[in-house]
């Protein structure tokens, strides 16, 4: 009886893995179709639109998100904690399809009825607008949060968030890269340093 239970568990595990592989295959096929469609589309206008989106995305992160986090943080908060807060807000704004005010406030440790709710709503609207504009071009795009903590930065698509040292290992993503048809339009901004383990 125990052998049958083990075989059934292994069978269910194999079915789950097979379903995951099928999903990955469909996603890869869809991505390939989108890339092929993007190559056949007129690029001049779309490229200019994505360049403008990339510029506005950088302004959003460097000015609006950073200002929001500074306003929300407690007195005496260390700069590394501030960078992690900026990263959490960016994960809410650009890591999900529809960011919410509650999630932005939670990212900075504030309650849903906080006076910063209006500012959080403006950030959500800005991120949603950038996403809509990018989707409107029909060219595949993404905000890339992928990072291996402890790896050195890849200057082709990553840069250290000032004043972090670009020669130190990566700790966390502060702001994701903005990629359009696998090309870097805005580099990933990364907190670097030496991880201290206890």
Q: Is residue 192 a contact partner of residue 168, using CB atoms and an 8 Å limit?
A: yes
Q: Band the pLDDT of 19: cuts 50, 70, 90.
A: confident
pTM: 0.74
Which pLDDT value is given to residue 14? 77
Give a yes or no: residue 104 inside a domain: yes
pLDDT score of 169 more than 50:
yes
Contacts of 111-117 with CB under 8 Å at 24 or more apart are 116/68, 116/71, 116/72
What confidence tens digit (pLDDT) does each residue in 90-136 have? 999 999 889 999 999 999 988 888 889 999 999 999 999 999 999 99
Residues 81 and 8 in one domain: no
Handedness of CA 99, 185, 57, 90 (dihedral sign): positive
> Residue 42 has what pLDDT?
44
Its domain, for residue 133, covers 41-192
pLDDT tens per residue across span 20-65: 777 777 677 666 665 655 555 445 566 789 999 999 999 999 999 9
Provide, rounded to the nearest whole percent, the portion of the chain with pLDDT above 90. 58
Inside any domain, residue 198: no
Per DSSP, the three-state class of 158 is strand
Rounded Cα distance, 88 and 167, in Å: 23
- pLDDT recorded at residue 94: 96
User: Hey, what's the torsion of the CAs at 4, 10, 13, 17, to 10 degrees?
Assistant: -140
Burial of 143 (0-12, 13-18, 19+ CB in 10 A): buried
CA 64 to chain centre: 16
Specify whether 7 is located in the same domain as 65: no
Whether the CB-CB separation of 190 and 157 falls below 8 Å is answered with no
Same structural domain for residues 111 and 171? yes
Same domain, 112 and 157: yes
Of 78 and 60, the one with more pLDDT:
60
- Tell me: pLDDT of 197 over 60: no
């Amino acid at each position: 009886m125990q052998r049958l239970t083990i075989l059934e568990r292994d069978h269910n595990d194999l079915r789950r893995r097979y379903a995951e592989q099928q999903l990955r295959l469909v996603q890869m096929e869809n991505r390939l179709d989108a890339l092929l469609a993007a190559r056949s589309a007129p690029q001049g206008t779309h490229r200019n639109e994505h360049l403008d989106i990339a510029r506005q995305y950088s302004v959003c992160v460097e000015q609006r998100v950073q200002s929001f986090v500074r306003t929300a943080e407690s007195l005496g908060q260390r700069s590394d904690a501030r960078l992690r807060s900026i990263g959490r807000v960016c994960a809410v704004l650009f890591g999900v399809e529809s960011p919410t005010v509650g999630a932005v406030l939670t990212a900075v440790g504030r309650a849903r009825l906080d006076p910063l709710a209006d500012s959080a709503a403006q950030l959500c609207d800005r991120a949603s607008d950038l996403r809509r504009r990018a989707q409107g071009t029909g060219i595949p795009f993404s905000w890339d949060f992928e990072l291996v903590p402890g790896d050195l930065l890849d200057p082709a698509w990553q840069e250290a968030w000032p004043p972090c040292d670009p020669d130190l290992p990566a700790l966390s993503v502060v702001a994701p890269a903005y990629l359009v048809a696998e090309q870097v339009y805005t580099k990933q901004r990364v907190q670097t340093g030496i991880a201290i383990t206890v």
